[in-house]
Structure 1
Amino acid sequence: MLLKQQTIQFSAHSTLYDLIVPKENILRKINDLIDFSFIYDELLNKYCTTNGRMAESPVRMFKYLLLKTIYTISDVDVVERSQYDMSFKYFLDMNPEDDVINPSSLTKFRKLRLKDTDLLNLLINKTVTIAIEKGIIRSKSIIVDATHTLSRSNPFLAIDVLRERSKLLRKTIYTFDDQFKERMPQKNTDNDLEKELVYCKELEKRIENEPSISSIPAVKEKLNLLKETVEDTQENLTLSKDTDAKIGHKSAESSFFGYKTHLAMTEERIITAAVVTSGEKGDGPELPKLIEISQENGIDVDTIIGDAAYSGKENLKITSEQNIKVVAKLNPSITQGNRKDADKFDYNKDADRFVCPAGHLAIK
């Protein structure tokens, strides 16, 4: 069950925050600047308002995740640190003597409550709103471009994350006991996700069997992060191909399997819109959506700055109708010729070639 409003119990110890958490502390600044109540409205449909046990405030749970992201720590460690770090408690709107949540509640929240929630555009909208209110955004120009994102089912991405976190764990251990290298398991040298998971589990086991090492706070933090990464990887491991991802091209010779994130941002470097497509899609066709979302987020757009991919006939027509100036090099290859709509090919400016509707790169 979720109450309409979180009840805040003030205590005589709350004045400690003014003594311990300085005004220049980044968490104090964020908390004082942003009203996080919009999180409650966004996640209300994820909870029952009449039945069940009293739920933790979704706003506070979301703040736990922000702390976890800002400091790159596990669910277990962000909760543990919130017990004694006064800046964390201040950020979470807790009294100094309040108890923290069970880490399993945070794990459930990030895996279930945030499912199917468009947090990306929600947070972009809030960021733009605050930037406008504070007078940070003054320009009426937006810069547009796209970046590549590997599919979650791509095994090399998971391996890279696991290897990086196991590496950080080993380096931390060696700062305390350089001789521990002799007791480490043999590293996995194959690009095989299953073998990497086996290696990480064996690494965890050997460290946990050495209390003199595993009890060191710095080691414990890195160990917990690796364990959480292993669990998440196992839970999301998909042997079948991601059906939504497609092969995209960074150049005529190199490709990737995944998605494209199309972005718009102001000259002040504030992101105003984001659209995610499969990897084979061209950049140009997403410009109307980027303009529309930017305008919905409160940006008065009068100029678009981008590369040749955004200067197609349709885009020039749409921007002309809205009196928006396009600053981009004209490229004749993106005009599509006289093809019928059903036969149109997307132009991939990275590979400088057309991509057919099925996602295949043209050879001529």
Structure 2
Amino acid sequence: MLLNHNQSSLSFHSELYSFVPADHILRRVHEVVDFSFINDLVKDSYCVYYGRPANEPELLFRLLFLQFLYNLSDERVIEDSQYNLAYKWFLGLNPEDSLPDSSQLSRFRVHRLGANRVERVLEHIVKQCVENGLIQSQALIIDSTHTLANAAKDKPLDVLKKAANRLLKGLKKQYSNLYKMIPTYPKLEGTDKEKAIQLLQYLAELKDLLEEKLPDAEGSLLDKINIVKQIIEDERLLSHKGIASAVDPDARFGRKSKSRTFYGYKNHIAMTEEEIITAIHVTPGNEDDGKQLQTLVNKSTELQISIDEVLADTAYSRKDNLTFLQSEEIKASIPLSPAVYGTREEDKFQYDKENDEVICPAGHMSIRKAKTGRTGTANNPCLTFYFDTDICKQCPLREGCYNNTKEKTYSISIKSEEHKQQMAYLESDEYLQRKGVRSIIEHKNAELKNAHRMTRAKYRGQFGMRIQAFLTAFVVNVKRMIKLKDAFSQ
């Protein structure tokens, strides 16, 4: 049941708020941002007539705002708000008023907002930016930044052991009688892979039994059962390419460069030239950046933001992205991957256009060619040129070029019409003037990580990562709103 809550000024002690400076950031936030949207956003998750009186959603959401603005834990934000006059004024409480228990913050964040409503929180702040005329550009900058998982990466056998132990402890605690009836933990023998297979079979048997005996399981036990189910169904687990944590099964290995890897998540971000984040899409760390462009553009346009240009790096230069942007009449200020031009690093092969042949570094000509690759996909088809392997076997330059394989080939990408048009645009003066704009999103990524601790996940699972990403983006947008408001008022 919801209670009405308004900032009180009836208390004698409220005179203490005169000590909060007029230019304090929280006074500016209260002046610029309308937080009342949160009440309508979460009202369906409350019972109107029954239940214990609940703290007003706006109060709890303002506490979350303080938490993400100042990088505080649930316990610390409640503790600090109890004696910090600026915090308490921002919350709309009298100095002597008490605050809700820190456990209410977690319940509000997970059960009232959740991973779905928290996305709408970002939508509301973007709409307020639009309504205040703060977004005037029509360009969208897209990039991704990674966040390390709040869990260590384990080997498949260790993942299975930890998942089994967590499930068995939870079962023993909540259903001691059923715990006595379950199959005994197997004695693992053989190599690590053989032990993992044995434990995988045990977990599958245990999972089937619990789903039969506990169809209405809920809470932490249900979470543990679902994690075990997710692990069992992961076909890549035993090959060290799938789930690598029993406490965060959604995290994956990703690559930032040829030499840099990470274990966690990717936050794909769309931002205007005014540095207002309009959309975020959270994925496991192994997801391809280029596949997220259309999702980010669509989410941004749904907020009534006009887009006539997208700026991004080569990871987004897929053919299907260029086709999509052309169909939407959006300019693609996106450099093409070197592979589109048919070049590779340290490439000494040469294509002879007149004879339609390829010349190898030793000066030998290709003997035939064939068109390979499928049309109608995101990748361009290729012309594959074949060389005489009898010559390759005797070639003094064969080391690093020919490894006694059945065939020696060299492929050249067949450029699509989309890529040809993009190549022409990339040579224009317009692109040369615009390409430097993309770099401003790097400052935003740095702010998210350095000022608001997006380097590492606060919570576990993709669900928790979404909550962290959207609430952090909300706070960062609010800070930017204040700067833009001040700039426009001058």
TM interval, short-chain normalised: 0.5 to 0.7
Shift of 1:47: 2.2
Candidates 368, 373, 376, aligned match of 1:338: 373
Shift of 1:14: 7.7
Task: Report the residue type matching 1:153 in the other structure.
Answer: A
Flag structure 1 segments of 5+ consecutive residues without an equivalent: 157-235, 347-363
Task: Report the residue type matching 1:139 in the other structure.
Answer: S
Shift of the 331–79 alpha-carbon distance from structure 1 to 2, 3 Å rule, reads closer
1:351 is matched with none
Question: Does structure 1 conserve the Cα–Cα contact (< 8 Å) formed by 2:266 and 2:283?
Answer: yes
2:31 is matched with 32
Asked whether 1:146 is paired with 2:144, we answer: yes
Q: Distance in 2 between matches of 1:47 and 1:93?
A: 22
Deviations 1:174-226 (A, max 9, x none): xxxxxxxxxxxxxxxxxxxxxxxxxxxxxxxxxxxxxxxxxxxxxxxxxxxxx
Task: Report the residue type matching 1:152 in the other structure.
Answer: N
1:89 is matched with 88
TM-score (norm: length of structure 2): 0.48
Question: Does structure 2 conserve the Cα–Cα contact (< 8 Å) formed by 1:287 and 1:310?
Answer: yes
Q: 3-state SS of the aligned residue for 2:305?
A: coil
The structure with higher relative contact order (CA 8 Å, sep 6+) is 2
Shift of the 286–106 alpha-carbon distance from structure 1 to 2, 3 Å rule, reads closer
Asked whether 1:69 is paired with 2:68, we answer: yes
Question: Does structure 1 conserve the Cα–Cα contact (< 8 Å) formed by 2:319 and 2:378?
Answer: no
Asked whether 1:290 is paired with 2:325, we answer: no
Match runs of 1:50-69 below 5 Å:
50-69=49-68
Question: Does structure 2 conserve the Cα–Cα contact (< 8 Å) formed by 1:17 and 1:90?
Answer: no
Match runs of 1:164-175 below 5 Å:
none
Deviations 1:231-275 (A, max 9, x none): xxxxx9x95274433322222333223222111111121111111
Match runs of 1:206-245 below 5 Å:
240=246, 242-245=248-251
Q: Distance in 2 between matches of 1:36 and 1:60?
A: 9
Candidates 265, 276, 279, aligned match of 2:282: 276
Asked whether 1:136 is paired with 2:142, we answer: no
Q: 3-state SS of the aligned residue for 2:115?
A: coil
Q: Distance in 1 between matches of 2:127 and 2:53?
A: 32
Shift of 1:15: 6.3
1:168 is matched with none
Q: Distance in 2 between matches of 1:321 and 1:293?
A: 17
Mean alpha-carbon deviation: is it higher for 123-132 or for 52-61? 123-132
Shift of the 33–245 alpha-carbon distance from structure 1 to 2, 3 Å rule, reads same
Deviations 1:294-348 (A, max 9, x none): 111232000011112222221111111111100111226469x73377x9789xx
Shift of the 48–18 alpha-carbon distance from structure 1 to 2, 3 Å rule, reads same
Q: 3-state SS of the aligned residue for 1:287?
A: helix
Question: Does structure 2 conserve the Cα–Cα contact (< 8 Å) formed by 1:153 and 1:241?
Answer: yes
Shift of 1:281: 1.9
Q: Distance in 1 between matches of 2:70 and 2:266?
A: 27
Aligned length: 264
Task: Report the residue type matching 2:336 in the other structure.
Answer: L
Question: Does structure 1 conserve the Cα–Cα contact (< 8 Å) formed by 2:293 and 2:321?
Answer: yes
2:195 is matched with none
Q: 3-state SS of the aligned residue for 1:36?
A: coil
1:101 is matched with 100
Shift of the 98–245 alpha-carbon distance from structure 1 to 2, 3 Å rule, reads closer
Question: Does structure 2 conserve the Cα–Cα contact (< 8 Å) formed by 1:141 and 1:305?
Answer: yes
Task: Report the residue type matching 1:246 in the other structure.
Answer: R
Task: Report the residue type matching 2:98 in the other structure.
Answer: D
Q: Distance in 1 between matches of 2:53 and 2:340?
A: 57
Q: Distance in 2 between matches of 1:53 and 1:71?
A: 31
Q: 3-state SS of the aligned residue for 2:140?
A: strand
Q: 3-state SS of the aligned residue for 2:143?
A: strand
Candidates 312, 315, 319, aligned match of 1:313: 319
Task: Report the residue type matching 1:339 in the other structure.
Answer: R
Candidates 242, 265, 271, aligned match of 1:265: 271
Question: Does structure 2 conserve the Cα–Cα contact (< 8 Å) formed by 1:309 and 1:334?
Answer: no
Shift of 1:116: 3.4
Question: Does structure 1 conserve the Cα–Cα contact (< 8 Å) formed by 2:318 and 2:378?
Answer: no
What value does the CA root-mean-square deviation take over the aligned residues? 3.2
Question: Does structure 2 conserve the Cα–Cα contact (< 8 Å) formed by 1:128 and 1:272?
Answer: yes
Asked whether 1:2 is paired with 2:37, we answer: no
Deviations 1:14-39 (A, max 9, x none): 86266222321111111121111222
2:330 is matched with 324
Flag structure 2 segments of 5+ consecutive residues without an equivalent: 155-226, 228-243, 342-371, 381-410, 412-490
Q: Distance in 2 between matches of 1:146 and 1:47?
A: 36
TM-score (norm: length of structure 1): 0.63
2:239 is matched with none
1:202 is matched with none
Q: Which has the larger radius of gyration?
A: 2
